[in-house]
């Protein structure tokens, strides 16, 4: 059982118009190498489901996003994402905007093949106004409480980045937070895991406790080994966020001319070329 | 000790937000000053409070700003934080881009939601926080742009839209609460050196102003020592609230 494949093969398996879930959170453990592979592919009109970060920004900048489903887009140490802002302010993308907890319930529902999960969250807020398709349900018990029926966030494909994986598709996180990556993996018809290092199954126990084995191979269609593949987002404990590069990204993204230079320098070649260009940039800085 | 700075007055006011909260998580996500305030409360009058190190660790002791927990007493990854919102043992301090007289707030976007003139963060956890947990706000620059008659997108619900409890708003000028019959925003105190008129002029709706508005309390010597020597020796608070 060997599910190892390339980032190009993952991107090549996507079709325009698909719904794609992306793991991580903000600018943390994002499958950036897989996102960069999508940037190089012809796929377009994606519905992207994610706790958004620079993954969303890059996909917006490349015109790949038709609709975004999210609770926020942020780069954490830099609160606002310039490409996402431009996409919204120019009307280039459609948006489904949920509360963070509602979004999580949508993931839990999809991961467990439920049509919805009930939560009070959303009531009273303009989330209900801007999502007129959201319906409420009433508790059948004595409390009779009105709750929002958050629909399942089903997705065709999910992309997540983990610290370690084996060739079978089992995957391990070693940082302080699993984010929602196991839920994304279960919610999608097909999940691809990129990882810092492919290890033998027997090596997992040396890397972390059994509880760190977050994703089972039964949920995984393919594994991509892509060292530094979450760059420039945080991927603790393998590496932290590249704050200097993220700043450079944000500054470039805020100005079309600077963005053209950034794109040419970092995004015009394959992943190896990206990693080389980043290395050279860091040496210059 | 030297003169007390505005940032130190604000941090003590933020600490006071957590008075009598008991053994709950202080989720001070709005910036340096409320984070300092929550840890100051824990280090002084509210030792039962739970605080984080800014990451998913609940720290065994209140840690200095920017430091990670030397000893963790608990683990609160994002998913558990979101479940804790429903559980309710949590008091959050958020930073609004807009806030109205009833405490409705906006961090999502400015202008028409369909095509905003300024896209901001998105609603984040605002709808859940405000509906289910005690919520306070921190505004480092009190202005009519922030304190506005109508927010463009209600990301945090106010008293008139079913909020659990909007406790108070601490700004660089004043402390404001909703202790009025109609739960409208009221001027509770002005910081030393600030006039009531300054606050009224910087607020884009009619504030309830009592006949006598007291001054916000000064942090005492022990609080100043803890802030300056232990929790924020680099003075990050002063960058957020220039004196």
DSSP A137-197: EE-SSTT--EEEEEEP--EEEEEEEEEEE-TTS-EE--SS--TTHHHHHHHEEEEEEEEEE
Q: What is the pLDDT of residue A256?
A: 95
What does the pLDDT average to over B8-37? Answer: 97
What does the pLDDT average to over B59-81? Answer: 95
Whether residue A28 has pLDDT greater than 80: yes
Instruction: State which residues form the domain around B187.
Output: 6-240
Q: Supply the mean pLDDT for chain A.
A: 98
What does the pLDDT average to over B65-76? Answer: 94
Q: Which residue among A72, A125, A126 sits closest to B121, beta carbon to beta carbon?
A: A72
Do residues B160 and B184 make contact, with C-beta atoms less than 8 angstroms apart? no
| Cα–Cα distance for residue pair A60/A35, rounded to 1 Å | 11
**Segments of B87-241 assigned E as strands:** 90-94, 98-99, 105-106, 109-110, 118-119, 134-139, 165-171, 174-177, 186-190
Do residues B56 and A176 make contact, with C-beta atoms less than 8 angstroms apart? yes
Q: pLDDT band at A285, cuts 50/70/90?
A: confident
- The residues near A30 (Cβ < 8 Å, ≥ 6 apart) are A22, A23, A24, A53, A54, A55, A161, A230, A233
Residue B180: left if φ>0, alpha if ψ -120 to 50, beta else—which one?
Answer: beta
* Residue B1 counted as domain residue: no
Q: Which residues of A touch B127 (CB under 8 A)?
A: 99, 102, 121-125, 127
pLDDT in tens, A180-196: 999 999 999 999 999 99
Kindly determine whether residue B77 and residue A180, on different chains, have CB atoms separated by under 8 Å: no
Q: pLDDT band at A92, cuts 50/70/90?
A: very high
| Cα–Cα distance for residue pair B212/B196, rounded to 1 Å | 10
Q: What is the pLDDT of residue B242?
A: 82
Whether residue B170 has pLDDT greater than 80: yes
What does the pLDDT average to over A136-147? Answer: 98
- What are the counts of helices (DSSP H) followed by strands (DSSP E) for chain A? 11, 12
Q: What is the pLDDT of residue B2?
A: 57
B198-221 in b/e form (b: 16+ CB < 10 A) is: ebeebbbeebbeeeebeebeebee
**Nearest residue in B to A95, CA atom:** B114
Q: Which CATH number belongs to the domain containing residue B70 in this structure?
A: 3.40.1080.10
| Cα–Cα distance for residue pair B14/B35, rounded to 1 Å | 8
> Total domain count for chain B?
1
Kindly determine whether residue B154 and residue A126, on different chains, have CB atoms separated by under 8 Å: yes
What does the pLDDT average to over B133-150? Answer: 98
Nearest chain B Cα distance for residue A1, angstroms: 32
Q: In which order are the strands placed within the sheet that holds B174-177? A: B25-28, B90-94, B134-139, B165-171, B174-177, B186-190
Q: What is the pLDDT of residue B1?
A: 44
* Residue B89 counted as domain residue: yes
The predicted model scores a pTM of 0.97
Q: What is the pLDDT of residue B243?
A: 78
| Cα–Cα distance for residue pair A171/A269, rounded to 1 Å | 28
| Cα–Cα distance for residue pair A273/A20, rounded to 1 Å | 25
Q: What is the CA radius of gyration of chain A?
A: 19
Kindly determine whether residue B123 and residue A98, on different chains, have CB atoms separated by under 8 Å: yes
Pairing of strands B165-171, B174-177: antiparallel
Q: In which order are the strands placed within the sheet that holds A116-119? A: A116-119, A146-151, A135-138
Residues 138..197 of B with a Cβ closer than 8 Å to A: which? 153-157, 161-163
Q: What is the pLDDT of residue A35?
A: 98
Kindly determine whether residue A125 and residue B116, on different chains, have CB atoms separated by under 8 Å: no
Whether residue A168 has pLDDT greater than 80: yes
Share of chain B above pLDDT 90, in %: 95
Do residues B241 and B233 make contact, with C-beta atoms less than 8 angstroms apart? no
Distances (CA, A) of B85 to A76, A244, B130, B170: 21, 34, 9, 22
Instruction: Please give the domain boundaries of chain A with CATH numbers for all domains.
Output: 7-100+153-242 (3.40.1080.10)
Kindly determine whether residue B123 and residue A71, on different chains, have CB atoms separated by under 8 Å: yes
């Amino acid at each position: 059982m060997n599910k190892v494949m390339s980032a190009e093969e993952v991107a090549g398996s996507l079709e325009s118009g698909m719904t794609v879930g992306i793991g991580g959170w903000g600018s943390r453990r994002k499958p950036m190498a897989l996102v960069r592979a999508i940037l190089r592919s012809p796929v377009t009109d994606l519905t992207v489901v994610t706790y958004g970060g620079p993954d969303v920004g890059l996909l917006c900048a490349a015109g790949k996003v038709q609709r975004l489903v999210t609770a926020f887009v942020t780069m954490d140490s830099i609160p606002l994402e310039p490409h996402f802002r431009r996409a919204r302010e120019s009307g280039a993308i459609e948006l489904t905007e949920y509360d963070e907890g509602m979004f999580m319930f949508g993931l839990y529902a999809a991961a467990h093949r439920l049509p919805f999960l009930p939560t009070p969250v959303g009531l009273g807020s303009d989330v209900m106004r801007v999502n007129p398709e959201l319906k409420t349900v009433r508790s059948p018990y004595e409390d009779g409480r009105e709750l929002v029926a958050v629909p399942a966030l089903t997705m065709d494909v999910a992309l997540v980045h983990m610290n370690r994986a084996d060739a079978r598709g089992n995957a391990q996180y070693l940082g302080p937070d699993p984010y929602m990556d196991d839920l994304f993996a279960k919610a999608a018809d097909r999940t691809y895991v990129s990882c810092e290092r492919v290890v033998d199954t027997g090596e997992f126990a040396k890397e972390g406790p059994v509880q760190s084995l977050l994703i089972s191979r039964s949920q995984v269609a393919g594994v991509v080994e892509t060292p530094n593949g979450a760059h420039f987002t945080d991927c603790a404990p393998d590496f932290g966020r590249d704050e200097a590069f993220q700043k450079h990204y944000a500054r470039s993204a805020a100005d079309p001319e600077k963005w053209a230079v950034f794109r040419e320098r970092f995004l015009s070649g394959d992943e190896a070329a990206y990693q080389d260009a980043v290395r050279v940039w860091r040496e210059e800085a | 000790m030297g003169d007390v700075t505005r940032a130190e007055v604000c941090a003590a006011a933020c600490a006071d937000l957590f008075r009598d909260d008991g053994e709950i998580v202080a989720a001070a996500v709005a910036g340096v000053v409320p984070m300092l305030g929550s840890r100051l409360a824990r280090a002084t009058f509210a030792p039962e409070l739970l605080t984080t190190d800014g990451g998913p660790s609940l720290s065994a002791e209140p840690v200095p700003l920017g430091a990670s927990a030397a000893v963790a007493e608990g683990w609160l990854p994002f998913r558990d934080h979101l479940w804790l919102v429903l559980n309710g043992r949590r008091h959050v301090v958020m930073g609004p881009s807009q806030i109205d007289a009833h405490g409705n707030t906006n961090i999502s976007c400015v202008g028409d939601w369909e095509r905003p003139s300024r896209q901001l963060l998105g609603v984040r956890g605002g709808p859940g926080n405000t509906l289910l947990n005690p919520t306070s706000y921190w505004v480092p620059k009190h202005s009519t742009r922030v304190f506005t008659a109508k927010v463009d997108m209600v990301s945090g619900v106010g008293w008139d839209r079913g909020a659990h409890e909007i406790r108070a708003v601490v700004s660089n000028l004043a402390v404001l609460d909703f202790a009025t019959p109609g739960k409208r925003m009221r001027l509770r105190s002005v910081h030393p050196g600030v006039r009531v008129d300054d606050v009224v002029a910087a607020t884009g709706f009619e504030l309830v102003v009592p006949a006598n508005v007291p001054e916000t309390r000064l942090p005492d010597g022990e609080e100043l020592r803890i802030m300056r020597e232990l929790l924020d020796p680099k003075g990050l608070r002063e960058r957020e609230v220039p004196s």
